[in-house]
C-alpha cells in the first residue's frame, strides 16, 4: 500500500510540474519507513488534490 501511495504521489507531482512522459522514466519509489512517513505522503496527496480541483 505504501508503494502504491508513493507511485501516486510521484505521478501527481509530475502532472503538476507538467513535465510530460520523460519524468516517468526517472521515477523512483520512496517507501515510507513507518506510519509517520505514510501519513506525510497522504498529507501531500491531499494538498495536491486540493490544488488540482480548483
CA distance 27 to 50: 23
Cα–Cα distance, 5 to 22 (Å, whole number) = 20
pTM for this entry: 0.35
Residue-wise pLDDT tens digits, 9-53: 888 887 777 755 665 556 665 555 566 767 888 888 888 887 777
pLDDT for the residue numbered 15 = 77
Domain ranges across the chain: 2-52
CB 31 within 8 A of CB 2: yes
Alpha-carbon gap, residue 28 to 36, rounded angstroms: 20
Amino acid at each position: 500500500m505504501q508503494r502504491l501511495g508513493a507511485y501516486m504521489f510521484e505521478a501527481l507531482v509530475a502532472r503538476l510540474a507538467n513535465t510530460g512522459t520523460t519524468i516517468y522514466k526517472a521515477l523512483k519509489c520512496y517507501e515510507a519507513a513507518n506510519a509517520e512517513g505514510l501519513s506525510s505522503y497522504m498529507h501531500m496527496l491531499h494538498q495536491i488534490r486540493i490544488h488540482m480541483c480548483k
